[in-house]
């Protein structure tokens, strides 16, 4: 949060409608994402109750566990969900693109597209993660055999949930998070966790303003929760009797139909909101670095898809080297994502300007051919004076780059009374005169920032078998056991 975001919230209160926090879209939105709206049984870690899923707005599939405490029904549900999810994965990755070989000569390929999963909220992500955990170790043979697709589903769900932790990844999106990245509402972030209330501020139903729509959204009778937790009143008054009736009547009964209808009634409003929200996001122009990040997502997907057959299910917890490596990856991704969003979007850059780590204004003086001749060889070091109203909080000597063209680098020489004197140090070509158009001219509007686009390089880590004694030495290789396969799921 910053004063800028906070001001946007205040403006939203005054306007009775959400206010933009972004001028471009910072996430990828697929043409046909797999929307998943899961519900779980109250009181259980990850006992599925129902899911509404599909990649077409008009054609949702409803999967239900009519007696959520029945283990066989749960695995039947998992197998159905697996078919749906795996089918989506296999049909949405597009064609294989051949890439130039890697440095070590290895062949590289990338799928032209990748599946995208969308769930309503962070709880949905957590549910998929646990669902993945509870199914990926299952055995497809022996006394506790499950459908062969079940452990495959578990591994994919786990993979997508892990990918959600990756800053800037769009493979698994929580809709409330995606919306909050682009709009500020007149309610707190806690209330923004309610998809219907959040959408109420951004795109209220006809005849309502933001606050009225949000208030309506908090009534679980009108707007059932977006899951995975259900409304306790629904549980007590509708679900419990319906499950009891199913218990008495069995599969294929009208009782089962009534149960499905009741759950459909809970899920459909959220389903509709998900597609409406996806439309809102699509309507925003795409940020310049979004395709690049989606390409990284496709790379990650391609790698996992290609190596799926050789790999074991993901371990319960990351062993030491894996954990350190993953943290490093996440931190690099976070750095790059933060910077890219600012370079893509003047409204995000405005946050940095307000914080004094960037400044924008008009060039008042320019000496584009100035040379620094103190060293052995002269160097091209143009001077630029920028007039700015921004509260600059950079120290002299700080390195900055041009927001519009990050290759153009400079150093702060002095800051006084609303002007900043910059010495440009790079990004103007190799000669002693700058390339045409490289140096801003007087009258140009410019923005310079201390953010850097290039993230730090990838680090070296020991191999797993070289895990040092400080970290307990090499961990035992994980091999699935029968113990895993028969783990209770009650």
Restricted to residues 359-398, the positions that interact with other proteins (CB under 8 A) are 360, 389-391, 393-395
- Work out which of 187, 289, 340, 425 binds other proteins, going by CB under 8 A: 187
- 233 contributes a contact to other proteins by CB under 8 A: yes
Return the HEC string of the chain. CCHHHHHHHHHHHHHCCCEECCCCECCCCCCCCEEEEEEECCCCCCCEEEEEEECCCCCCEEEECCCCCCHHHHHHHHHHHHHHHHHHHHHCCCCEEEECCCCCCCCEEEECCCCCEEECCHHHHHHHHHHHHHHCCCCCCCCCCCCCHHHHHHHHHHHHHHHHCCCCCCCEEEHHHHHHHHEECCCCHHHHCCHHHHHHHHCCCCCCCHHHHHHHHCCCCCCCCCCCCCCHHHHHHHHHHHHHHHHHHCCCCHHHHHHHHHHHHHHHHHHHHHHHHHHHHHHCCECCCHHHHHHHHHHHHHHHHHHHHHCCCCCCCCCHHHHHHHHHHHHHHHHHHHHHHHHHCHHHHHHHHHCCCEEEEEEEEEECCCEECCCCCCEECCEEEEECCCCCCCCCCCEEEECCCCCCEEEEEEEECCEEEEEEEECCCCCCCCCCCCCCCCCCEEEEECCCCCCCCCCCCCCHHHCCHHHCCCCCCCCCCHHHHCCCCC
- Work out which of 113, 177, 299, 318 binds other proteins, going by CB under 8 A: 318
- 8 contributes a contact to other proteins by CB under 8 A: yes
- 419 contributes a contact to other proteins by CB under 8 A: no
- Residue (93 or 155) nearer to other proteins, CB: 155
- Work out which of 31, 45, 99, 148 binds other proteins, going by CB under 8 A: 45
Rule CB under 8 A: which of 258-317 touch other proteins? 316-317
Q: How far is the CB of 390 from other proteins (least distance, A)?
A: 7
- Residue (3 or 145) nearer to other proteins, CB: 3
Q: How far is the CB of 279 from other proteins (least distance, A)?
A: 18
- Residue (254 or 316) nearer to other proteins, CB: 316
Q: How far is the CB of 475 from other proteins (least distance, A)?
A: 9
Q: How far is the CB of 232 from other proteins (least distance, A)?
A: 4
- Residue (225 or 269) nearer to other proteins, CB: 225
Query: Binding string to other proteins for residues 441 to 470, with x set by CB under 8 A, is what?
Result: ------------------xxxx---xxxxx
- Residue (109 or 330) nearer to other proteins, CB: 330
- Residue (304 or 461) nearer to other proteins, CB: 461
């Amino acid at each position: 949060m910053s004063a800028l975001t906070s001001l946007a919230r205040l403006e939203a209160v005054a306007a009775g409608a959400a206010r933009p926090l972004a001028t471009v879209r910072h996430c990828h939105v697929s043409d046909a994402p797999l929307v998943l709206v899961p519900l779980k049984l109250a009181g259980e870690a990850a006992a599925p109750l129902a899911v509404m899923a599909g990649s077409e707005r008009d054609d949702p599939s409803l999967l239900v566990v009519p007696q959520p405490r029945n283990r066989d029904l749960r695995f039947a549900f998992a197998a159905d969900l697996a078919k749906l999810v795996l089918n989506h994965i296999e049909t949405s990755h597009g064609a294989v693109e051949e890439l130039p070989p890697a440095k070590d000569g290895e062949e590289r390929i990338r799928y032209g597209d990748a599946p995208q999963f969308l769930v309503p909220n962070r709880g949905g992500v957590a549910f998929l993660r646990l669902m993945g955990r509870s199914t990926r170790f299952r055995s497809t043979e022996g006394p506790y055999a499950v459908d062969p697709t079940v452990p495959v589903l578990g591994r994919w769900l786990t993979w997508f949930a892990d990918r959600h932790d990756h800053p800037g990844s769009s493979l698994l999106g929580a809709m409330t998070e995606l919306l909050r990245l682009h709009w500020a509402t007149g309610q707190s972030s806690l209330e923004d966790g309610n998809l219907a209330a959040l959408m109420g501020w951004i795109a209220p139903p006809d005849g309502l303003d933001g606050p009225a729509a949000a208030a309506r959204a908090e009534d679980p009778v009108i707007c059932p929760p977006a899951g995975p937790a259900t409304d306790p009143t629904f549980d007590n008054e509708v679900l419990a009797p319906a499950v009891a009736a199913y218990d008495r009547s069995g599969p294929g009964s009208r009782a089962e139909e009534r149960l499905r209808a009741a759950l459909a009634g809970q899920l459909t409003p959220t389903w509709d909101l998900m597609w409406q929200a996806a439309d809102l996001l699509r309507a925003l122009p795409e940020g310049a670095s979004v395709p690049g990040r989606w390409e990284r997502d496709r790379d990650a997907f391609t790698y996992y898809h290609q190596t799926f057959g050789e790999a074991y299910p993901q371990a319960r917890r990351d062993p030491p080297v894996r954990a350190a490596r993953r943290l490093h990856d996440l931190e690099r991704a976070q750095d790059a994502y933060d910077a890219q969003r600012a370079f893509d979007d003047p409204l995000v850059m405005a946050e940095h300007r307000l914080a004094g780590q960037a400044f924008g204004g008009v060039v008042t003086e320019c000496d584009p051919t100035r040379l620094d001749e103190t060293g052995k060889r002269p160097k091209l070091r143009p001077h630029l004076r920028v007039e700015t109203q921004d509260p600059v909080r950079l120290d002299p000597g700080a390195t900055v780059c041009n927001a519009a063209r990050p290759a153009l680098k400079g150093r702060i020489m002095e800051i006084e009374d609303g002007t900043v004197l910059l010495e440009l140090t790079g990004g103007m070509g190799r000669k002693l005169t700058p390339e045409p158009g490289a140096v801003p001219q007087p009258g140009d509007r410019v923005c310079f920032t201390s953010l850097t686009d290039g993230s730090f390089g990838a680090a070296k880590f020991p191999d797993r078998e070289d895990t040092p004694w400080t970290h307990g030495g090499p961990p035992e290789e994980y091999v699935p056991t029968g113990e895993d396969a028969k783990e209770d799921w009650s």
